[in-house]
Chains A and B, each alone.
Chain A
Amino acid sequence: DQQVKQNSPSLSVQEGRISILNCDYTNSMFDYFLWYKKYPAEGPTFLISISSIKDKNEDGRFTVFLNKSAKHLSLHIVPSQPGDSAVYFCAASASSGTYKYIFGTGTRLKVLA
């Protein structure tokens, strides 16, 4: 049972345009969400987080939106840069006890110069 789903395995975007990466979850107990970026041969790097008390969090070019009723979150990257090309994972956790993060399967973003 995949509790966190990233239904787009890959995405290509032109440099300078907006990249939108989507993530859906099924467990209504999840109330904390993270996005990680992963380059080949490296571990995932934390990008941005959002808790369920917010519907938007912004950090520079990265904005995460949370729609609790739809159990959907998205990561917007504006403007996209070639260095953003990587695999992006969303992860979700319930803020009770162990923060056991459930990861999606990832979306490979390719930003074309």
Chain B
Amino acid sequence: ETGVTQSPTHLIKTRGQQVTLRCSSQSGHNTVSWYQQALGQGPQFIFQYYREEENGRGNFPPRFSGLQFPNYSSELNVNALELDDSALYLCASSPGQGIEGYTFGSGTRLTVV
């Protein structure tokens, strides 16, 4: 399987709700990172998983959590949604630890109302 696939492409949630975003990485890509891109900004690093363990985190609160599965899929979970969580969420994967750069998915556009 080639490419990085994210689902859903668009999502609308209400403040206070919880959301799960999904990502399917390329086979053999042991590293997956999640980024948040607000309008007019560059992607901001949320966290990274390597072989199913979190090995790096950006400046995001604990209500942002993730999982990586052995089949190269992963999830981003956000609890207690806030209006400022509205953004494009990008999943990116890499075969190694990421130094060679990432392959990004097309993202999930989350709107919190």
Which residues of chain A have a CB within 8 Å of any CB of chain B?
4, 6, 32, 34, 36, 41-46, 49, 89, 91, 93, 95, 97-106
CB pair A4 B99 closer than 8 Å: no
CB pair A95 B45 closer than 8 Å: no
Q: CB of B42 within 8 A of chain A? A: yes
Set of chain B residues within 8 Å of A95, measured between Cβ atoms? 99
| Given A43-B107, A98-B48: A34 touches B42 (CB 8 Å cut-off) | no
Set of chain A residues within 8 Å of B55, measured between Cβ atoms? 97-98
Interface string of B68-83 (1 = CB under 8 A from A): 0000000000000000
CB pair A41 B106 closer than 8 Å: yes
CB pair B101 A4 closer than 8 Å: no
Which secondary structure dominates chain B's binding surface?
A: loop
CB pair B41 A99 closer than 8 Å: no
Q: CB of B56 within 8 A of chain A? A: yes
Set of chain B residues within 8 Å of A91, measured between Cβ atoms? 42
| CA gap between A48 and B4 in the complex, in Å | 19
CB pair B102 A89 closer than 8 Å: no
Set of chain B residues within 8 Å of A105, measured between Cβ atoms? 40-42
Q: CB of B98 within 8 A of chain A? A: yes
| Given A99-B98, A105-B42: A43 touches B90 (CB 8 Å cut-off) | yes
